[in-house]
A = this chain, B = another copy of it.
């Protein structure tokens, strides 16, 4: 690598953490941050969960961030109540995220009608449509495509190869991963003019501030109004959101979730991986739905459930235990079902 990798002494790094440096190692040079098991001399590491204490004992890390009162024999440790804050400090130092500085690649296509803040970065082969607006400090990776009239806020980061269709709106400090499509046509056909006819989708998608969207996810534009993702909601990879879906703020959708048209999901909702939600439903605030669930009816706020049929986790587990026994039960119950006992 031609770039100089960042390095820092233990003394200076501890100053960034706001904790005193352990004695005797203040001049040790730190060059990275990683897990206890992977750490090599020169690495910072951290004890995020007590169960990893044994790994902390044997880690080669030069410096270990631990919660207060952690009982390990290592002397090269520093205590922080918020260990993850220390980890973030390390990541920010050793893996500093680039900031936008107005680097517009000469191959980026930017029509005169666009309003692009001066410090925006546009990668190679980016294509902006007419009348696109991009806020200060936003970075658009190579091959990003932004349709006519789309609006993107400030300090947003579109990884390489993201497509935002015409007129859609993306907020500030949003992170969108590669391969995401925002604003594809919803799936809408009606019996008209003698056939099952496509109704062109003329609504938009609105992504509010601080949302993150995982790789290869597809979010359809509304038929007429808005498909909307609330602030601070986090979406994983390969998710499908149909037209007119709305997700409240602070929700979490894990990989391969699919939500059908016009369903309204509340705030603080968790939908675990591969869960499917039918159309035109209302999922209340704070619902927590486990992986591979089928949501086929409205859910009141705070519903916790998993599976198909959707049940509370303990009930679901008991149901599955009985399901496994069904062949045996059936055999034994045959007399009560008015059937011959099975011949052995």
Chain A residues packing against B (C-beta within 8 Å): 1-3, 33-35, 37-38, 48, 82-85, 87-88, 91-92, 94-95, 97, 107, 109, 113, 123-125, 127, 130-131, 141-143, 145, 147, 149, 159-161, 163, 165, 175, 177-179, 181, 184-185, 187, 189-193, 196-200, 202-203, 212, 214-218, 220, 223-225, 232, 234, 236-238, 240, 242, 250, 254-256, 258, 260, 273-274, 276, 278, 291-292, 294, 296, 307-309, 311, 315, 318-330, 332-333, 336-338
Contact = CB atoms under 8 A, between A and B. Distances in A.
A141 B91 CA distance: 34
A192 B83 CA distance: 8
B165 A178 contact: yes
A290 to B, nearest CB: 9
B218 A179 contact: yes
Given A142-B127, A214-B218, A215-B184, A326 B336 contact: no
B145 A145 contact: no
B87 A199 contact: yes
Given A38-B224, A177-B218, A196-B250, 5 more contacts: A143-B161, A179-B179, A181-B216, A187-B214, A328-B337
Contacts of A87: 192, 199
A88 B197 contact: yes
Given A84-B199, A202-B94, A329-B330, A258 B258 contact: no
Contacts of A307: 308
B332 A322 contact: no
A22 to B, nearest CB: 22
Central interface residue in A84, A163, A337, by most chain B CB within 10 Å = A163
Contacts of A35: 223-225
A215 B175 CA distance: 20
Contact of A91 (B193, B199, B320): B199
Contacts of A324: 309, 311, 315, 319
Nearest to A326: B322
A274 B258 contact: yes
A111 B189 CA distance: 38
Contacts of A212: 185, 198
Given A216-B181, A294-B291, A238 B238 contact: yes
Contacts of A3: 130-131
B256 A240 contact: yes
A112 to B, nearest CB: 9
Nearest to A307: B308
A216 B218 CA distance: 7
Contact of A143 (B145, B260, B308, B325): B145
A322 B123 CA distance: 57
Contacts of A276: 256, 273-274, 291-292
A9 to B, nearest CB: 21
Given A184-B215, A214-B218, A273-B276, A34 B327 contact: no
Nearest to A202: B95
A95 B196 CA distance: 20
